[in-house]
Structure formats: structure tokens, C-alpha cells
Structure 1
Amino acid sequence: MTFTSTHLVRFAHVDAAGIVFYPRYFEMLNATVEDYFSQEIGVDFAEMHLRRGLGLPTVSIQTTFLSPSKLGDLLDFRLSVLRVGRSSVDLLADVFCGDERRLEATATLVCMDLEAGRSVAWPDDMKPGL
């Protein structure tokens, strides 16, 4: 299954060279993950963080930048789940502008008890969507 979230490259995303400043890709990727959890898992980040006391930190990310993106581009962040562990998930993000692949990233995120500061097993109601 692939989840897609589309992001418009805005003025705030680009640097003086007129291309997306690399940390902004990570912000858009995080927004994609947030959309995925809300729409596919059925638990949004407000529910996770504020009511359940769970966080979802990124513990590892590997990224290859294939082609620059510019102001006004529409980027499709295509997110796929590669592996689900007891408390972690490995994701693949392919970013396209039309048919052109712009970026590939693999990331590991961990379900964390915010108060205890340690990983916890995925809640039962979230497992099926992963």
C-alpha cells in the first residue's frame, strides 16, 4: 500500500538558489507521516501526543536527493511501510514532481511513551493500519 500526500513548494521552502532547502523536505515528510497516521491509522498527532502521551520520533533517516525542486512545484510524497516492529516502523518515501523522482528516503520511527522517554509497543488499535 502506498499513501500519497501532495505538497506545494512555497516561498518559505526555497533557499537563495531558488531550490528547496534540504531541511524543508524533512518538514514536508513529517507532514506526510502526520497525514498518514490521521487518515490511514485513524489516530492523529493531537490524539497521540496530547491525550495518549505517545510520540513518534524519527530515529534513523537515509536520504538521496535526486533532482532539485523549485518554487511552485507540486510534490507527491509517496509513503510505503517496509517493516513493522514491536514499537517501530520503517518507511520508504519516494518524492515525485509529475513523473520525475526528486528524492528517496528511508526512515525508522519509534512509538515512544513521552513521560517515560522510552519505546513502547504499538497500541492495539493502531497496529492494523500499520
Structure 2
Amino acid sequence: MFTTSKPLRFGDCDPSGIAYFPSYLDILVGVLEDFFTSLGFPWRAMNEVRRMSVPTVRLDLTFRSPGFQGDRLDFALAVRAIGRSSLDLEHTVSRGDTVLWTARHRIVATSLDTNTSLAWPDDIRAALTHHLETAHAHHPAT
């Protein structure tokens, strides 16, 4: 499982100081980018050298508790399934022991030249497979 922490900043919140949910998605994209960098595949190199991208094709979020300006968000990213070109991820975002939200997320490897899906290159597939977790994490009921 890949883990990282990100702050919930002033600009990520509505006037009441509660997280503005579209900001969560922007932060999540950064976490995904950090995950690929940790595997040795920074997005800039994937885009410019390999001419590939990893767009989101499905994202299902469940909000459990509000986040507030100044919170430290702990992200846990689990690789759940690897297809020919798809990658299924599960995210858990917490503040301490409190789960704020979870997400089921599918991305697909695509060619920047043809805008069509492509099979994961062998080296990226191997790195993703190393992180594959088959047992689903248990999340507290809402």
C-alpha cells in the first residue's frame, strides 16, 4: 500500500472552513502522480518519453466525515486489480483515526498519440503487480 500525507489548505475549503469536495479530487490526482513517481515512472517522463497517460475512467467516492482547513489528510492507496490497460485502485483518506472518505478508482493507460487504450508496458506492469493487494481492506461502516 502506498501512503502519503497532504495538508488541507485554505484554498481547498469553502468559506465555512470545510473541505470543498472538488478540491479533494485535485489533491487525489497529486497523490496518484506521487504513487507513479514512487514506482519510478514520473508522469512527465510517461507523457513525453513514452507518450502515454493514465486518465480516470471511473471514480466512486463515499464521504464519511468532513475535513477542515488545516487538517493533515492521510492517503492510503491500494492496487486492487490490474487489467490489460486498466488499473483498479482503492483510496482511504483519514484524519488520524477518522476516515473522511473512500474511493474506488479506475484509470486506464492510454496513448497520447492515438487517444486509445494501450497495454501496460512490462516494466510498469511489474511495478504495479508488486503493489497488488488481493485482500480488500475493511472500512468502518458509516
Q: TM-score, length-normalised on structure 1?
A: 0.96
DSSP 3-state at the match of 2:104: strand
2:49 maps to 51
1:120 maps to 118
Give how far 1:51 is off.
Answer: 1.7
Alignment partners' CA distance in 2, 1:129 and 1:84: 11
DSSP 3-state at the match of 1:27: helix
Is 2:64 the partner of 1:82?
no
List structure 1 segments (4+ residues) > 2 angstroms apart after TM superposition.
none
For residues 1-130 of structure 1, the aligned pairs below 5 Å read 2-39=1-38, 41-130=39-128
Give how far 1:5 is off.
Answer: 1.4
Alignment partners' CA distance in 2, 1:19 and 1:77: 18
| AA of the residue aligned to 2:112 | L
Question: Which string of whole-angstrom CA distances, capped at 9 and with x for unpartnered residues, describes residues 82-109 of structure 1?
Answer: 1000001000000010010000000100
Give how far 1:125 is off.
Answer: 1.1
Give how far 1:17 is off.
Answer: 2.1
How many residues align structurally?
128
Percentage of matched positions with identical amino acids: 38
Give how far 1:128 is off.
Answer: 1.2
Q: CA RMSD in A?
A: 0.7
Alignment partners' CA distance in 1, 2:83 and 2:99: 28
Question: Which string of whole-angstrom CA distances, capped at 9 and with x for unpartnered residues, describes residues 61-95 of structure 1?
Answer: 00001111011100011000110000010000000
| AA of the residue aligned to 1:19 | I
Instruction: Give the gaps of 5 or more residues in structure 2.
Output: 129-142
